[in-house]
Amino acid sequence: MDLKIDALTHRYGTTEVLADINLDIPTGRIVCVVGPSGCGKSTLLRFIGGLERPTEGQVMQLSDPPADSLNPFTFVFQDFALLPWRTVDGNVRLVLEDHGLGKAEMDRIITDVLTRTKLADFADALPKNLSGGMKQRVAIARALAVRPAVWLMDEPLSALDAQTRELLMDDLVGLWLRTPFTAVYVTHNLAEAVRLGHRIVVLSRRPGMVRKVIDIETPLENRTAGDPALAAIEQELWQLMRDEAEAADQELIA
């Protein structure tokens, strides 16, 4: 589903958090949003997901969500947000309940998404028995199950160690190559943005304004570690972020 963020500004009380954000989110593309702490990245996701309304401007849906989408705007969070008393199967099943699906259809969807996230052998496991990477794969399976029109991903890999993060990035690329999805992906990690983003949006410190939009033409499947073109983009991102991050850091201390 194509989205357009149009002149979006938001204030909490007298504090301006986002200022005049204009941004296109095309269907089938991963749009990464980077920026210093507190610049409004998570707030922007909430507006896109319709959880809050901005003070000014709007998020426009330029096309309809797919007819079979059970939850057009689906969040994936850093902390996995799994129910500890439900099994892997039960956590995925939860989001399918109340949609009028028969048991056989639910079972079919669950088998499919657990297979796609390499969790087929862990359907009966409880979250407490899973590694961080597996927990996040459950969260991804749960999102796949409802066939989102747009994935809203808020630092989904930030709680994971570096190796697990690499594996999960490969998994996300694999899932996207199989069925391209639309995502807005918030991250602090520039390497992650360069690995996963078709478009990278750099926000300034608060109030978050769009400082730069970088489109990366290299197909996701060709983004190998050490690629000089990608390294140059990461370096450019860091140059842009550095001043903003330093200034934001000073503001937090002051």
Ligand X SMILES: Nc1ncnc2c1ncn2[C@@H]1O[C@H](COP(=O)(O)OP(=O)(O)OP(=O)(O)O)[C@@H](O)[C@H]1O
Contact status: 209 vs ligand X (CB under 6 A): no
Neighbours of 93 (CB within 10 A): 20
Burial of 102 (0-12, 13-18, 19+ CB in 10 A): exposed
Which residue, among 73, 81, 144, 149, has the nearest Cα to 109 in the 3D structure? 144
Shortest separation between residue 206's beta carbon and ligand X, angstroms: 6
Compute the distance between CA of residue 144 and CA of residue 76 in angstroms, rounded to an integer: 10
Q: How many residues bind ligand X (CB under 6 A)?
A: 11
Which residue of 1, 21, 43, 151 would you call a contact of ligand X, by CB under 6 A? 43
Shortest separation between residue 42's beta carbon and ligand X, angstroms: 3
Report the residue number, 37 or 250, with the smaller CB distance to ligand X. Answer: 37
Shortest separation between residue 130's beta carbon and ligand X, angstroms: 25
Contact status: 206 vs ligand X (CB under 6 A): yes
Contact status: 39 vs ligand X (CB under 6 A): yes
Contact status: 12 vs ligand X (CB under 6 A): yes
Measured between alpha carbons, how far is residue 8 from residues 40, 112, 201, 222 in Å?
Answer: 12, 38, 15, 34
Contact status: 42 vs ligand X (CB under 6 A): yes
SS3 percent helix, strand, coil of the chain, rounded to 5, is 40, 25, 35
Three-class SS state of 20 = strand
Contact status: 205 vs ligand X (CB under 6 A): no
Contact status: 37 vs ligand X (CB under 6 A): yes
Shortest separation between residue 88's beta carbon and ligand X, angstroms: 28
Compute the distance between CA of residue 129 and CA of residue 148 in angstroms, rounded to an integer: 28
Q: Which segment (36-44, 89-97, 134-142, 237-245) binds ligand X by CB under 6 A?
A: 36-44
| 80's tokens | 């996995």
Shortest separation between residue 7's beta carbon and ligand X, angstroms: 18
Report the residue number, 38 or 72, with the smaller CB distance to ligand X. Answer: 38
Shortest separation between residue 4's beta carbon and ligand X, angstroms: 20
Contact status: 40 vs ligand X (CB under 6 A): yes
Query: What 8-state DSSP symbol labels residue 208?
Result: B
Compute the distance between CA of residue 251 and CA of residue 205 in angstroms, rounded to an integer: 10
Which residues of this chain interact with ligand X, rule CB under 6 A? 12, 17, 35, 37-43, 206
